[in-house]
Structure 1
Amino acid sequence: MKAEIITIGDEILIGQIVDTNSAWIAARLNEAGFTVVRKLTVGDDRREIADAVEGAMRTADAVIVTGGLGPTKDDITKQTLAGIFGGEMVRDRETYERNGRILAARGIEYNELNREQATVPSSAEVLQNMHGTAPGMWFTRGGKAVVSLPGVPFEMKELMETEVMPRLAAHFRQSKVVHRTAITYGLAESVLAATIAEWEAALPGYLHLAYLPSPSQIRLRLSAYDIEGRREEEEIERRFRVLERLIPDYFIGYGDATVASATADLLRARRATLAVAESCTGGALSASFTAMAGASDYYLGGVVSYSNDVKVGILGVSPDTLRLHGAVSEQTACEMAEGVRRLCGADYALSTTGVAGPTGGTPEKPVGTVWIGLATPHGTRACKSVFARLRTQNIERAAAAAANMLRLELLHRQPTE
């Protein structure tokens, strides 16, 4: 079965907001066995919307439309769909009454614009939006389905999960699509491909491998299409277990796993604690750990020591170290890590100091130079990386490299040592 996704809004076309809806919807449709053949964005124009929907219905079995359901005059999706599918605009009583209660609780007047959100084409089945005032709508014609959803991401996602996906499953008989994604870190794409070439060549023909690189990791996705049973799912799991044994130092986990989450799992398993001292990453390393639920199990605290005065006054870095070696140096990274470990009473500590860019580099320490320190119960060391010239990527890569340095330390040191 084929699907198309249409996002509506001038604000998307002019770059005012980023369209995250279509990526999320595509993933959910693909999991359900649909092949997404096209994603299209159109502005708040009646003719453009109508042409997009009618064109999608000629090639796709299911069409998901988001946006244009708000209370203002530029939100014209309902009226356009009524023109395509026929019927008159009628008030949906359940939506009308719920919206009244929502607005009253917020102290907002229930004016004519808000009341208009409860009107829908009589040709649509109403999908009740429990998190907003704009209902979703389900249209059918000739066995095909067109779904209109709010553009607000959390409202759209709730309706997709609770209303749309069950309806699509009932409306279309689908063969299954299975995806499983493994996360790797520490090997460039070409090196990774060469390292796992024999493993890849041994994959059965019905499994498809995709490389999905990003600045801080490479995802490997195995997919099986048009399947009926569990044999393919079990084979994917078996193949990834082989891969995990093949590249243990570079294999992070599955799905949404990150270097930080893999490190956190090891810290938690060992009942060990962590503290962080950051300069060039400016808190990004701490954020990568504290973004995860349960971080208080292992994360004690951190210091963003951007200035040398803070490095000296709080972390205890020696002024002589800074004078002789500079802030971006092996010696400073080690003293930062030791200082924050001592300050927080942690088992392990990480530090970052470098030139994030795009300015500030020298021939000896070009932009992208980062020293990462690691203080442990068994000693302190530091390692140097040279990334690129893009500040955001340098910060992201430095934070991931620091977490990975600790991950490898925990992975190779027995818990009893």
Structure 2
Amino acid sequence: MKHINAEVITIGDEILYGQITDTNSQWISAELDKIGVKTIRKTSIGDDKKEILDILTEAQKRADILIFTGGLGPTKDDITKKTIAEFFNDTLEINQDALENVRELFESRGFELTEINRQQAAIPTKATYLNNAVGTAPGMWFDENGKIIISMPGVPFEMKYLMENEVLPRLRKHFKTPFIIHKIIRTIGIGESFLASKIESWEDALPPHIKLAYLPSLGQVKLRLTGFGDDKEKLKAEIEAEAEKVYPTLGQNLFSKDNEELELVLADLLLKENATLATAESCTGGYLAHTITANPGSSAYYLGSVISYSNEAKMNLLGVKKETLDAHGAVSEETVIQMAEGAKKALNSTYALATSGIAGPGGGTEEKPVGTIWLACAGPDKTVTKKILSTKTRLVNIQYGSKSALGLLRKMILKEI
């Protein structure tokens, strides 16, 4: 079955200036994926006639579906509708259904329908009118030269209404598309290149209709298997079978077969053990606690945190010895051990995590450069530590330190260390 490809084009100078974030193209792509349409390109252009005409010409050469958002407002800088009409050698005419919709919206809000708003109902004669029941700018559908071109307002809630009620149903009816199935496997503690080498033979043996992508993030790499086929259930079964083949090779680096966040995997492990967790944070400044408590139900296993940013707080709240700080410094294995054990004792938890490091951008030394982070995990019968060397970027160090601490806790619960 032929793959159906789409290109999503967002129009607006405000996007290019960075004044607003383009959330439309991400949402549209996700919805297209659900009906078997693959987005092959996303493009952002300004409110410029030549740019719109150029992208119309270029995108039709590579995509079956072109989806535009933006530039359909009533003001002079909104030129999308007129430009598309020019592209098709067409003219704008008032669409009576669109006009009635605009009139009803204005009357329901107690406003007078002005001529500038009346012109919102004008669309190219070659366009099929798409009813925008939540706004004044109608959507437009063109079926020209075997290509489908769709234009919608850029306001997210109006665009979503049109996609869900007009565009997606029409696309399903117009195209016979293959199923696209994704499966994401999550790994931790191994870099992308090392992971690729480890699973190379498995990747090379994947069938042609199942593709693998590596999606690295802080301390983790996601493996995304994407399959294309006509039989949805058969395709799902094939992808699961291929995934089962790689699990033994991934070993301890595998932490989720079903795209679960590490925090949720840990929640399940702690609940199964009827265990509790506390944290003691220095360089992560509460981010580790935030990561844990962002999940509903975390009160069942998480007891609290001591954010001991200063040496005085480490001593007074966690019982870190002054001699330890004087001899080894706050960023040291000896200090994080005492922090973790102090938090475990103070909060009477089963496990306790501790972080201490140099987040930056200042404060580093030759011996302990920016990005040096010590982690500790105190458990029922032992305390384990880990030293990581991150980057010179403060926020990355805070986030990476927190994720690495959670990874250390997972290994301890599973008795992998």
Q: Which moved more, 1:213-222 or 1:303-312?
A: 303-312
Given the alignment, which residue of 116, 121, 139 partners 1:119? 121
Q: How does 1:313-328 map to 2 (within 5 A)?
A: 313-328=316-331
Cα distance in 1 for residues equivalent to 2:183 and 2:163: 21
Deviates more, 1:161-170 or 1:322-331: 161-170
Aligned pairs for 1:170-181 within 5 A: 170-181=173-184
TM-score (norm 2): 0.85
2:295 counterpart residue number? 292
| SS of residue matched to 1:389 | coil
Look up the equivalent residue of 1:204 and give its one-letter code. P
Structure 1: how far apart are the matches of 2:323 and 2:107? Answer: 68
- 1:389 is aligned to 392
Aligned counterparts of 1:319 and 1:147: Cα–Cα separation in 2:
68
Output the amino acid matched with 1:174: T
- Amino acid corresponding to residue 121 of structure 2 in structure 1: T
Q: Give how far 1:378 is off.
A: 2.3
Distance 1:353 1:44, change over 3 A: same
2:247 aligned residue (244, 247, 250): 244
After superposition, the C-alpha distances for 1:53-103 in whole angstroms (9 at most, x for unaligned) are 3443454321111223456543333444455464424444345545765x6
Aligned residues, how many? 407
- Aligned residue identity for 1:93: E
Closer/same/farther in 2, CA of residues 94 and 349 from structure 1, 3 Å limit: farther
Contact 2:53 2:84 in 1 (8 A): yes
Equivalent residue for 2:49, pick from 37, 46, 50 = 46
Q: Which residue of 1 is the match for residue 274 of structure 2?
A: 271
Residue 212 and residue 129 in structure 1: after superposition, are their counterparts in 2 closer, same or farther (change >3 A)?
farther
Which whole-Å CA distance do the structure 1 matches of 2:248 and 2:105 have between them? Answer: 55
Report % sequence identity: 45
Counterpart of 1:366? 369
Measure, in 1, the Cα distance between the counterparts of 2:119 and 2:339.
57
The aligned counterpart of 1:344 is 347
Contact in 2 for aligned 1:353/1:372 (Cα 8 Å) = yes
SS in 2 for 1:248: helix
Match of 2:167 among 164, 169, 185: 164
Q: TM-score, normalised by structure 1?
A: 0.85
The 1:110–1:245 alpha-carbon spacing in structure 2 relative to 1, beyond 3 Å, is farther
Indicate the residue corresponding to 1:141 in structure 2.
144
Distance 1:381 1:263 in 2: 17
For 1:377, which of 359, 367, 380 is the aligned residue? Answer: 380
Note the aligned Cα RMSD (angstroms).
Answer: 3.1
Of the three residues 7, 10, 14, the one matched with 1:7 is: 10
Contact 2:187/2:221, CA 8 A, preserved across alignment: yes
The alpha carbon displacement at 1:13 in A equals: 1.9
Do the aligned partners of 2:277 and 2:351 also contact (CA within 8 Å) in 1? Answer: yes
The correspondence for 1:88, drawn from 90, 93, 97, is 93
Q: Which amino acid aligns with 1:88?
A: E
From the superposition, tell whether residues 264 and 136 of structure 1 become closer, same or farther in structure 2 (CA, over 3 Å).
Answer: farther
Deviation string 1:357-408 (CA, Å, 9 cap, x unpaired) is 2321112211111111212222323221112223232222211111111111
Deviation at 1:233, TM superposition (A): 1.9
Cα deviation for residue 291 of structure 1 reads 2.5
| Alpha-carbon distance, 1:176 to partner | 2.2
- 2: CA distance, partners of 1:337 / 1:299: 15
Instruction: Using the TM superposition, name which of 268-277 and 345-354 deviates more.
Output: 268-277
SS state of the match for residue 205, structure 1?
coil
Task: Give the Cα separation in 2 of the matches to 1:365 and 1:302.
Answer: 26
Q: Which residue of 1 aligns with 2:132?
A: 128
User: How many Å separate the matches in 1 of 2:388 and 2:143?
Assistant: 57
Q: Write the mapping of 1:34-113 to structure 2, written as runs, cut at 5 A.
A: 34-70=37-73, 73-83=76-86, 84=88, 86-90=91-95, 91-94=98-101, 96-98=103-105
**Unmatched runs of 5 consecutive residues or more in structure 2:** none
Q: CA deviation at 1:113?
A: 10
Secondary structure, aligned partner of 1:398: helix
CA distance in 1, matches of 2:324, 2:118: 69
Structure 1 gaps of 5+ residues are: none
User: More deviation in 280-289 or 132-141?
Assistant: 132-141
Secondary structure of 2:36's aligned partner: coil
1:127 Cα deviation from its structure 2 partner:
4.2
Query: Are residues 378 and 358 of structure 1, via their aligned partners in 2, closer, same or farther at CA, if it must alter by over 3 Å?
Result: same
Determine whether 1:184 maps to 2:191: no
Matched, 1:281 2:284: yes
SS in 2 for 1:338: helix
Q: 1:157 to 1:126 in 2, by over 3 A?
A: closer
Between 1:1-10 and 1:64-73, the stretch displaced more is 64-73
State whether structure 2 residue 26 is matched by structure 1 residue 19: no
Identify the residue that residue 405 of structure 1 maps to in structure 2.
408
1:245, distance to aligned residue in structure 2 (A): 3.0
Is the 8 Å Cα contact of residues 68 and 76 (structure 1) preserved in structure 2? yes
